[in-house]
Amino acid sequence: MGIKVLVIEPSQDYRTLLAHHLTTHWPDAQITEYDPEDFGRLQEGFSGAGNDLVILAHPLGEESGLDWLRQFVNGNGFPPVVVLGSSDERDIVAAIKGGAADYISRDKLSHSSLVAVIESVLQPPESGNDTSLTGASASAIDLVGLKGYEVEKRISGGEVASVYLTHETASDRDVVLKVLRQVPDSGGEVHFQRFLREFELIGKISHPNVVRIYDLGIADDHAYIAMEYCSRGSLKRRIKIGMYAERAEEIMRSIAEALGAIHDVGILHRDLKPTNVLFRDDESVALIDFGLAKQAHLKAELTGTGEIFGTPYYMSPEQGHGEPLDKRSDIYSLGVIFYEMLTGEKPYQGNTAMAVILKHARDPVPRLPEHLAQYQPAIDKMMAKRPGHRFQSVGELLEWRPAEV
């Protein structure tokens, strides 16, 4: 049986359009259309029962869709709500803070963007193997020695490390635990030392745009880092929604400030990408995941010589070819993210990782649309193919200002 979606939208044409997109991708989808102007406000006790998802327009004629949202999310067990509205940053922030699972700007709406948002809500890609871990099932994690933390769910997991959302009982706060299992027979000792080095490096940093680290714990067969939980999701989701150019520049500068802080203590991030940029309740930016970070002067045996780390879409040309890196490689990756925030598109795409890597090295620096031309000088200098042609430091980047238009 297909997904069940309730569409609350005053325009018949727009309801038809949404239903077309949904049934094209999910042929068995059951769509219920609701016209708030014809039928009025849903009763206070409406639970959304029987639906997997609600698409809620804002505004709803003369009414605010965000008022309806507040009514919905106050009900226990209400299905996730995706708000469909303008590109006004204030509405987007208000909707997310009000409990919306996601937000779609009408002027950014396309078949692919709608499908991507709904898939991320029903099966979040950043937690694809999330499992509820409360109650008896929590014992399956086998994290001996993790006292004082109530595990709520697994955010991600791999052969070496896993990440969990927990509640720290002593402080009564949500905490993210990154847990490394030491497996000596499979090279686990090296990973274990790398993991401890990660905490040592991040622990030196106190900056509002770098994730806060609370604690380090070590047990017989694992170590963990306890860090702050950023509840407003990642930059990847914001890019899907779309944003004003001014907001994109603001976020870019916040990330740059964080990079400046880690560069100052000799750390390269080396895996800068939208999913490693999170938002707190107050909408401030927190740079996370230094699993690939390393001190500039660390010996090669810690990471391997010529080893390629990171994500191809955001790699500098030198990183993609396994060459020595410095802070200018992170600046390149930030340029890729800035371009994606401004346009909603990655600058280079290909059918394979190597195809993307080659484009970073050989293709021209991407061009922005005419209405974003004031940001082209920054993109040109952040994404220059040769490190010597880029901004030479984050400080130099932060001095740049777009020309008046």
- Residues serving a catalytic function are 271
CA distance 201 to 6: 48
**Which DSSP category does 163 fall into?**
E
Cα-Cα end-to-end distance for the chain: 53
CA distance 83 to 123: 17
CA distance 339 to 334: 9
Tokens for 320? Answer: 């993609």
Residue pair 182/221 in contact (Cβ under 8 Å)? The answer is yes
CA distance 121 to 284: 22
Taking the CA of residue 242 as centre, how many other CA atoms within 13 Å lie in the half-sphere pointing to its CB? 17
CA distance 73 to 87: 22
CA distance 9 to 19: 11
**Nearest CA among 278, 284, 261 for reference residue 330:** 261
Tell me how many helices (H) and strands (E) the chain has. Answer: 13, 14
Cis peptide before 80 (omega within 30 of 0): no
**Nearest CA among 379, 381, 401, 377 for reference residue 391:** 381
Can you tell me whether residue 384 is helix, strand or coil?
A: coil
**Residues 94, 238, 203, CA angle at the centre, nearest 5°?**
100
β-partners of residue 151 are 166
Residue 88: Cβ within 10 Å count: 12
